[in-house]
């Protein structure tokens, strides 16, 4: 396992700032030194570092530095360089791991304060709810888990699944122009196909107390799926007719939107609920909800104050569910 940790900063690491500067056009070394506040040696070191990650940077005596090409692999530098908001988690990128949720939880059990976003190119044991397997070929999807230690009461932490679903669907739309719906509680759908799943898990560290890990598996650049998934899963690339999607830009947009909503987790949650309601693929529909051995059939009427589903049963009772699996009638 190779980890590429990235320095944390008010805006982002210097390498990320260099990338961001070069993305807006060629720059002379003197301009870069002034913009980044680094020495000549440091600039050389940063450029060499980025080149070792696969960035192609040309250095011309007259034109200065030009970013010619960016690699497909996901690096903290690339993700951080696309972040626009003030909510900047620490970012790590792993080439392979069992599961990014497990990685993040291990750090939650130790001293990591979060927010910490752990990306992986490949998971050997990626999972969804109830231990179901999450399939993603190495380097094609976006696999990330974010460790959080929310200040708000733990009873409201279920809101974070809702906020993450909203952030992912907004990011998909912003980066690709494709509309994404939310199938309560944790699936993102495009044209009835599942493009992303979300898995939130909690834990308690003996020294730092409770933490939450929210994991996202997003199908980005896959061109095919195993036969059992082919009819129900889709990747953004397939939806876009083969166009490759920049995973670092998409990851950063998810972080930007998640940060925006997490900062409104208490005061702005009503606004988030309205946005989720508009994107919901289940509200207003007849469905059966399964939870453990229990199942209930009714009409999905609304979301409650923590993002739970309010189901109007046949006898008129309105029952709230904080979790469960939804099957839509006739869907």
Q: Near ligand ADP by CB under 6 A, which window of 50-58, 128-136, 260-268, 293-301? A: 128-136
Check residue 186 for interaction with ligand ADP (CB under 6 A): yes
Token code pair at residue 181: 């719906």
Interface positions, 201-230, toward ligand ADP (CB under 6 A): 219, 229
Q: Are strands 309-313 and 318-321 parallel, antiparallel or unpaired?
A: antiparallel
Using the minimum distance from each CB to ligand ADP, give the nearer residue, 134 or 321: 134
Site stretch for ligand ADP (CB under 6 A), options 102-110, 126-134, 289-297, 313-321: 126-134
Cα–Cα distance measured from residue 104 to residue 148, given in angstroms and rounded to the nearest whole number: 9
Start-end of H helices in 133-218: 159-176
DSSP-assigned beta bridge partners for residue 119: 93, 144
For ligand ADP, give the closer residue by CB, 233 or 255: 233
Is residue 309 at the binding interface for ligand ADP, with CB under 6 A as the rule?
A: no
- CA–CA distance, 222 with 135 (Å, rounded to integer): 11
Applying CB under 6 A, among 7, 64, 128, 139 the residue interacting with ligand ADP is: 128
197, 215, 298, 307: which one binds ligand ADP (CB under 6 A):
197
CA–CA dist 319, 306 (Å, integer): 14
Q: Where are the alpha helices (DSSP H) in the chain?
A: 14-23, 29-36, 40-52, 76-82, 100-109, 159-176, 227-230, 236-239, 247-262, 269-279
Nearer to ligand ADP, 111 or 329 (CB): 329
Contact between 60 and ligand ADP per CB under 6 A = no
Minimum CB–partner distance for residue 196 and ligand ADP (Å): 8
Choosing from 143, 175, 190, 233, the residue that interacts with ligand ADP (CB under 6 A) is 233
Q: For ligand ADP, give the closer residue by CB, 225 or 260.
A: 225
Q: In the structure encoding, which two tokens stand for residue 127, read together?
A: 């999972």
CB atoms within 10 A of CB 253: 24
Map residues 131-170 to x or -, x wherever contact with ligand ADP holds by CB under 6 A: -xxxxx----------------------------------
Q: Please identify the residue of the shown chain whose CB is closest to the bound ligand ADP.
A: 128
Do strands 209-218 and 318-321 pair parallel, antiparallel, or not at all (unpaired)? Answer: unpaired
Cα-Cα-Cα-Cα dihedral sign, residues 128, 140, 15, 49: positive
Positions in the binding site for ligand ADP (CB under 6 A): 128-129, 132-136, 186-187, 194, 197, 199, 219, 229, 233, 325
């Amino acid at each position: 396992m190779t980890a590429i940790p990235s320095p944390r900063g008010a805006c982002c690491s210097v390498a990320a700032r260099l990338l961001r500067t070069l993305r807006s056009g060629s720059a002379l070394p003197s301009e870069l030194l002034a913009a980044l506040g680094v020495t000549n040696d440091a600039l050389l070191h940063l450029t060499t570092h980025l080149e070792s990650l696969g960035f192609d940077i040309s250095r011309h005596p007259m034109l200065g530095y030009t970013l010619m090409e960016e690699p497909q692999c996901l690096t903290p530098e690339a993700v951080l360089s696309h972040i626009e908001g003030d909510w900047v988690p620490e970012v790590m990128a792993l080439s392979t791991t069992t599961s990014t949720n497990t990685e993040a939880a291990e750090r939650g059990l130790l001293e990591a304060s979060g927010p910490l976003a752990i990306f992986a190119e490949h998971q050997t044991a990626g999972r969804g709810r109830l231990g179901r397997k999450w399939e993603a070929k190495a380097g094609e999807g976006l696999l990330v888990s974010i460790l959080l230690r929310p200040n708000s009461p733990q009873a409201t932490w279920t809101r974070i699944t809702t906020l993450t679903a909203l952030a992912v669907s907004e990011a998909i739309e912003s980066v690709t122009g494709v509309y994404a719906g939310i199938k309560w509680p944790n699936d993102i759908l495009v044209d009835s196909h599942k493009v992303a799943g979300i898995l939130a898990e909690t834990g308690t560290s003996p020294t730092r107390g409770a933490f939450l890990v929210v994991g996202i598996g997003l199908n980005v650049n896959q061109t095919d799926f195993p036969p059992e998934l082919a009819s129900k899963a889709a990747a953004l690339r397939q939806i876009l007719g083969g166009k490759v999607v920049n995973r670092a830009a998409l990851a950063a947009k998810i972080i930007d939107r998640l940060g925006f909503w997490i900062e409104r987790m208490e005061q702005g949650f009503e606004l988030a609920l309205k946005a989720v309601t508009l994107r919901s693929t289940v509200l207003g529909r007849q469905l059966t909800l399964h939870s453990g051995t229990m199942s209930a059939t009714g009409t999905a009427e609304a979301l409650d104050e923590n993002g739970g589903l309010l189901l109007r049963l046949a006898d008129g009772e309105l029952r709230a569910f904080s979790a469960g699996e939804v099957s839509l009638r006739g869907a």
